[in-house]
Chains A and B, each alone.
Chain A
Amino acid sequence: MKKQENITPILKITDLKKSFGDNHVLNGFTMNLYEAENLVLMGKSGSGKSVMIKCVVGLMQADAGTIEIMGKDITTLSQKEFNNLRTQIGFLFQGSALYDSMTVRENLEFPLRKFPEYANKSKQLVLEALESVGLKNAIDLMPEELSGGMKRRIALARAIILRPKIIIYDEPTTGLDPITAKEIIQLMIGIQQKFKTSSLIITHDMDCARVISNRMILLIDGINYIEGTYKELAASKDKKVQEFFK
């Protein structure tokens, strides 16, 4: 990935620090996400992966460090500017996080409600998004009527409805059977090719990482411990890195 280094990254995280009391979760985490790449972030449970991405989308405030999304430092933005920038980021939550008092259609329409310009296109956008995940028939169902795999797909459809430049996946395959997990991975690859998005994928699933990643970063002890392609990391002699590939 040498040749990408002179291109400006679409998401640039520098020296990020975050603690909860004495629990120092992030101690200077640095990473870049480039256009149209699939970057996999791995780390043990509790290593701070979710905390890191929550800082990126503004659900948590970092203690120190900078986050630049498409060249803009998020700490310098007003709430309104930040909200607009956030529409460039799709977020797939660890547990899908569908609104369970709303139908699938209302779930997908929810991100559109802040944009009057989408008002007359919303029907079409919802159908297109559902089509991308192969669940057009589920449009009038409630989330409780969906299986875990279907929920994940609907959540994915909701994440891509505003055509974001960046998609962040928090453990997209956890809790699914291997076959459904593979289907979700194929969907993610399909979406990446169709919309040319950059993806930041957090996962524990080595198969997923192998199939989908252009590049990987391991988050260990609160820093970006090592980065490289799947092959490079698999060949690493470092003990802490090898633990992941056992």
Chain B
Amino acid sequence: MVISLQIVQKTKKFLLEIGELAYFAKRFFKEVFTKPFEFKELLLQSYKMGNQSLLLVGITGFILGLVFTLQSRPTLMEFGAASWMPSMVSISIVRELGPVIIALICAGKLSSGIGAELGSMRVTEQIDAMEVSGTNPFKYLVVTRILAVTLTLPLLVIFGDTIALFGSALIENLKGDVSFQLYFNKVFNALKFSDMIPATIKTFFFGFAIGLVGCFKGYYCKKGTVGVGEASNTAVVYASMLLFILDFIAVFISDIFFEI
């Protein structure tokens, strides 16, 4: 009895939160198109976020390419299909692995960072101070950050994918005597527009989700330092979950339009 009551309450709280998140997104779309635009802050945030994640994304991408190629090699060899390696690796990485894994890494890095930053600004009344001095904090802090992640994540994913392909080419070069030129020739032959376009479009949505959740959690942070920790923590969890849901929807839709 008590347990079922708890489940009901938890579900209710969760649904309420989803509603609030949707409302927050609605507010974003309302404010993103109205003046004044905070271009300077947008540029600064984009630079910061790209800069913060570049190394991390590079390393992750490189290892992803290495490991994926090493793991798949024996199986492909068994079927005598080792020459298919570049096409298989590039399609898997560009279509699915790259976007999802890099977005997850960025969810950990950026979403928690935004959650903690806005959370501590809320707790120490910096957001109130902004509002009192006539600057709309939603525009200045939230809109710029959501836009910044939305715009930088696709770039980071393209960068990460490229590094991953280099990692894979390196293995092929060392183990299979495939030259880099041959490898990338095969990659470009294998990759079609219908692989690249949906994969790139979905990274914008991933970026939006990461920014939205981080800002939402930070902006409505509860008072106290415990609140800040919780904000950054739940931001990562929610953002990662949302990424998988979005990915599912994206694959579903691109299946209809591009018949993969």
Residues of A within 8 A of B (CB): 54, 57-59, 83-84, 86-87, 89, 91, 93-95, 97-101, 110-111, 113-114
A97, B133: Cβ atoms closer than 8 Å: no
Considering only residues 104-121 of chain B, those with a C-beta below 8 Å from chain A are: 117, 120-121
A98, B126: Cβ atoms closer than 8 Å: yes
| Alpha-carbon separation in the docked complex, A54 to B125 (Å) | 11
A-B contact pairs, 23 of them (CB 8 A): A57-B132, A58-B132, A59-B131, A84-B134, A86-B132, A86-B133, A87-B133, A91-B129, A91-B132, A93-B125, A93-B128, A93-B129, A97-B126, A97-B128, A98-B126, A99-B129, A100-B121, A100-B124, A101-B117, A110-B133, A111-B134, A113-B135, A114-B135
**Size of interface on B: residues with Cβ below 8 Å to A:** 14
- Chain B contacts of A97 at CB under 8 A? 124-126, 128-129
- Chain A contacts of B128 at CB under 8 A? 54, 59, 93, 97
| Alpha-carbon separation in the docked complex, A89 to B129 (Å) | 12
Residues of B within 8 A of A (CB): 117, 120-121, 124-126, 128-135
- Chain B contacts of A89 at CB under 8 A? 132
| Alpha-carbon separation in the docked complex, A113 to B40 (Å) | 12
- Chain B contacts of A101 at CB under 8 A? 117
Chain A nearest CB, measured from B37 CB (Å): 13
B133, A111: Cβ atoms closer than 8 Å: yes
Chain A nearest CB, measured from B131 CB (Å): 6
- Chain B contacts of A111 at CB under 8 A? 133-134
Given A91-B129, A97-B124, A100-B124, list of 16 further CB < 8 A pairs? A54-B128, A57-B132, A86-B132, A86-B134, A89-B132, A93-B125, A93-B129, A97-B126, A99-B126, A99-B130, A100-B126, A110-B130, A110-B133, A111-B133, A114-B133, A114-B135
